[in-house]
Structure 1
C-alpha cells in the first residue's frame, strides 16, 4: 500500500510513498536489533564512527540542492534558506557529533572502601525516532546525529506529510558507510507506525518530537503506550506557546522586525515549536511598536518558497491550513481586534496552495484561545503590560514552557525575568538563538529531554558501575 505526499504550493501529488504498518515496524526493529547486537556499528572504534559520520556530512553538502528542494516541495521550507543555510548547518551538526564519537568514556572512582570502581558509558540500544513535519531535515539530523555518535541503532518515522528527505538521508548514510540496519526509515501514519514504535517490546528508547496543535495529547498517548510495554526510556518535545517580552527601553526599530520573525509570520509560516507568538509589549512603547510592525509587514512577500524574494510560503497541508483559518475566526469571535491579514491568499490566481496572510491580533487577553493554544500558523497576538511582575506572571500563565524572548537594555530586568520564566530556553535581545553547543528542551507540558549540545548525546547513553575488590581486602 502507498499514500500520497502533497505539494502544499499546488495541492498536487508529488509522489506515492510506501504506507508502513505494524509488520513493517517489526521488520525494521528486527533489523535494528540485529545491527545493535551483532553488527560492527556499536563495536567500531569511535574514530571509525567519526570517519563515517564525517563522510555522511560531506554527502549532505554535496547534495544540498536536492535536499533543499525536497524540503521545499514537501514542507514548503524556503528553498533559498535551505540551500544557503539549513542543509549546510545540519551537516555541521553531524560533524559536531562525529567529533564526540571517540570521546565517550566513563570515570575511574576513588572508593571509600577497599574497592576499585569505575563506570562504563554504553549506548542505550535500539531507538525509535518519531519526528514532525515542520523542519524535516533539522528534525532528522537532530535525532539521528547524536544517536549515531552514541553507536545506537534506530527506526525513524518521518511525518506522513513530509517523508521524502528522510528517505534521501537514509540513502546518503548508506553511501557514507553506515551499516545496514543501523538507520531504518518507516514511512506511514502516526497512529499506526508511531503507535507501533511506542509500544514495541524490543525498542529501548523512544524520542518523540511532535509540534502542532494537540501535540501534548499525542505525548500522553505515547507515554501510555510505553507504560504498557517495556518501560522504555522516553524523550518528548511537545511544542510551546512562547512569550516574546518587549520592555519600554527596547529599540523599537530593531525589535519590531525581530518580533515578526520570532512569531514566524515569515520564513516558516509560524510552523515552529519555539515561535514567540505571545508578544507582550510594555505600555510606554506599545503604540510605536504597533506602527513599526505594520511598516515591516508591508515589505514582506507571501508566495512560492522556491522564489528567493518570498518571505512566507504555504502551510504544510490542507488540514493545518484549515486549522489556522479556524483559529483566526476564533480570535475575531472572542473579541480580539484583527489588525492585519487574516485571510487566505490566492498567490497565482488559480485557487491553489495553502497560503494565509500574515495575521496580527491586538486587544488579545490571556484567556482567549489564540493566546492559549499552539497554533502553528502565521498568527501573532499582541498584549500590553505595565510592570515586570505582571508580565512574569502572565508569561508563565501557560501549560507550555519551551522558549521565551526578553527585549531590554536593563541588565537587572534581563536577569530577573530570565530567572523567573518557566521555559527551557530564554533568549535575551535575540530570538532563535540556536547553536550546536546549546541544549534546548522544555519545561512543563512542553516535554522533557534535550536536543543539541552534549546533553543530546548523553540521553542516548547509559552508565554502568563496576566495582572490584582490591587484593588482600576483606572482601575476598
Structure 2
C-alpha cells in the first residue's frame, strides 16, 4: 500500500498570501492511516502565528480589497477558484485519499465534486444576498442590510477536510469576510493546497490564512483571540464546549457549532417486501467514510415483526463491502484515521459483547499486516437501549439494531439521546413518515433514503448536535454577516 503524494506538497503555514514556517520552527507529523508511516512534517503553529494570521486577515478586511469589492467581482474570483479546483481534482482527490485513508473513489466521485459545487453555489449567491425595507409609514424609511462580520475563524474536522472547508469558506468569502482556517491536524494537506489555488484565482493576500497545528494550541489561540469576530467549528462536543468558553473568556465572539450525532434510522413494518433495498441504503448510511461521519446511521430501529429478516438483509448488504487499500478503486471501506480510533471502535464492540450483545458480522481488526488501522463494517444485535454502544457516538463502522413495538415506541427510542443531528425514516405510509419526521428531534430527517440534503438545504442539529446557526443554503450567510438596521427620518 505504498503511496506517493502528488506534487506540490505544501506543509507550511499560509499567511498573507505566502507559505511560511511556524515562528517557533516546530512541526508535527502527518501519518498515512493505511500504513502507519509518516507522510510529511507540517508546520505546528502557536499563538504567535495565530496573531500574525489574524492581523493579516484584519488588515485585508479593513482595506476593503475583498470586503468592499462588488459582490459580482467576488463571484468571478470564486468561479476562477472553481475552475482551478476542477483542473486539480485528481491530485486533490489523491492527496485526500492518502492523507485521510479514504477510498479514492469516494474522493473522486463525492468529496471533490461536493467541494467544487459548494464554492460554485456560493459564488453565484454572492450578489443575491438582499436586504429589506420595512413598512415604516410616510415619515421614515427603515432598511435592513447585511454586512460581513469581519475576521472569521474556521476550525475544521478531519473526516471531510475539503468538503467542510468549502461549506465554511463558500459563504464566508462570498459575503466579504477574511478567514483564518485551522485545518484538522490529522488531515491538513489539501487545505494548504486549496489556499494556494485560491490565491492563484485572485483572492487578495490576507483574505485567507491557514494555521496548521494542534487543537489545544492553535485552535485554542484562535478561539481566544480578541480580534476574531466569529468562530465556525465542526467537531466533537467536548471541543465545542471549549470554544464557547473561549468566547466567554475573550471578546464574546459569535460561535457556531456543528457537533456530534447518534442518528436513528427507523424502519416500519410496511417495508417487509423491500428489505434488501432498505438494508443496502442503511448500510451505506452506517458505514460510509468508515462510519466517521456525524450523521452516520449508527442506530437502526426496526419494527419487531420484521426484525430477523431485516438483520439478515443488513448482514448480507454489509458483507458486500470491500475493505482494503484506499487507492484501489474497488475499495469501499478504507482505514480509520488514527490508531486511537481503531482502539476506540474495538472497545465499544468488545464491551457490548461482554454485556450480552451479539456481533453478526465484523467485530475484529483486519489487514494488520499493512500497519494500517482497518476495522470492518460491523453489525451488532441483542443490544439494550442503555448500552454505551447504543447511546454514544462511536465514529467508526459499527451499527446497532434495536426493535420497536409501534411508531410511538420508535420515536421514543429515536429521541432518547442527547444528540439531534440527523435521522432517516423508511415507510410507505405518508402519515407514519410525516409523523416520525415531525416528531424526531433532529436538524435533518430524510424519508425513504439516507440523505443530509444538498447545498441548497440548511444543515445543523438540535440539542447537543449544534448551536448558533446552520451550514449550507442561504441560511449559512447568517453565520458570517451582521444584520444592521438603518432608520432614515424624512423631513
Q: TM-score when scaled to structure 1?
A: 0.95
Shift of 1:447: 1.2
Cα distance per residue 1:407-456 (max 9 Å; x no partner): 00000000111110100000000112431111110000001221111111
Give the secondary-structure state (helix, strand or coil) at the position aligned to 2:125.
Answer: coil
Residue 470 of structure 2 corresponds to residue 460 of structure 1: no
Bigger mean CA deviation after superposition, 379-388 or 351-360: 351-360
Give the equivalent residue in structure 1 for 2:260.
Answer: 239
- Hey, what's the Cα distance between the residues in 1 that align with 2:298 and 2:472? 23
- Hey, what's the Cα distance between the residues in 1 that align with 2:164 and 2:207? 18
- Superposition CA RMSD, Å: 1.1
- Hey, what's the Cα distance between the residues in 2 that align with 1:113 and 1:444? 44
Cα distance per residue 1:54-110 (max 9 Å; x no partner): 000111110001110111111112211212332122211111000111122311223
Give the equivalent residue in structure 2 for 1:103.
Answer: 128
Bigger mean CA deviation after superposition, 140-149 or 461-470: 461-470
Shift of 1:351: 4.5
- Hey, what's the Cα distance between the residues in 2 that align with 1:72 and 1:297? 22
Bigger mean CA deviation after superposition, 126-135 or 97-106: 97-106
Residue 307 of structure 2 corresponds to residue 286 of structure 1: yes
Residue 461 of structure 2 corresponds to residue 436 of structure 1: no
What is the aligned counterpart of 2:317 among 291, 296, 300?
A: 296
Shift of 1:216: 1.3
Structure 1 portions without partners, runs of 5+: 472-476
Shift of 1:113: 6.8
Give the equivalent residue in structure 2 for 1:320.
Answer: 341
Give the equivalent residue in structure 1 for 2:389.
Answer: 370
Q: Is the 8 A contact 1:249 1:409 kept in 2?
A: yes
Cα distance per residue 1:281-322 (max 9 Å; x no partner): 101111111111222223221001111111100100111111
Residue 97 of structure 2 corresponds to residue 72 of structure 1: yes
Give the equivalent residue in structure 1 for 2:415.
Answer: 396
Give the secondary-structure state (helix, strand or coil) at the position aligned to 2:438.
Answer: helix
Give the equivalent residue in structure 1 for 2:294.
Answer: 273
Shift of 1:112: 4.0
- Hey, what's the Cα distance between the residues in 1 that align with 2:76 and 2:306? 54
Give the secondary-structure state (helix, strand or coil) at the position aligned to 1:286.
Answer: helix
Give the equivalent residue in structure 1 for 2:39.
Answer: 14
Give the secondary-structure state (helix, strand or coil) at the position aligned to 1:118.
Answer: strand
Aligned in 2, Cα 1:22/1:354: closer, same or farther, shift over 3 Å?
same
- Hey, what's the Cα distance between the residues in 1 that align with 2:296 and 2:320? 21
Residue 226 of structure 2 corresponds to residue 201 of structure 1: yes
Q: Is the 8 A contact 1:132 1:158 kept in 2?
A: yes
- Hey, what's the Cα distance between the residues in 2 that align with 1:158 and 1:318? 20
- Hey, what's the Cα distance between the residues in 1 that align with 2:148 and 2:213? 27
Q: Is the 8 A contact 1:60 1:88 kept in 2?
A: no
- Hey, what's the Cα distance between the residues in 1 that align with 2:389 and 2:178? 40
Task: For 1:19-418, list aligned pairs within 5 A.
Answer: 19-112=44-137, 114-210=139-235, 215-250=236-271, 251-264=274-287, 267-346=288-367, 350-418=369-437
- Hey, what's the Cα distance between the residues in 1 that align with 2:357 and 2:304? 18
Shift of 1:39: 4.0
Q: TM-score when scaled to structure 2?
A: 0.93
Give the equivalent residue in structure 2 for 1:474.
Answer: none
What is the aligned counterpart of 1:421 among 420, 423, 440?
A: 440
Cα distance per residue 1:230-263 (max 9 Å; x no partner): 1111100111000001001112021011111111
- Hey, what's the Cα distance between the residues in 2 that align with 1:47 and 1:440? 26
Q: Is the 8 A contact 1:107 1:118 kept in 2?
A: yes
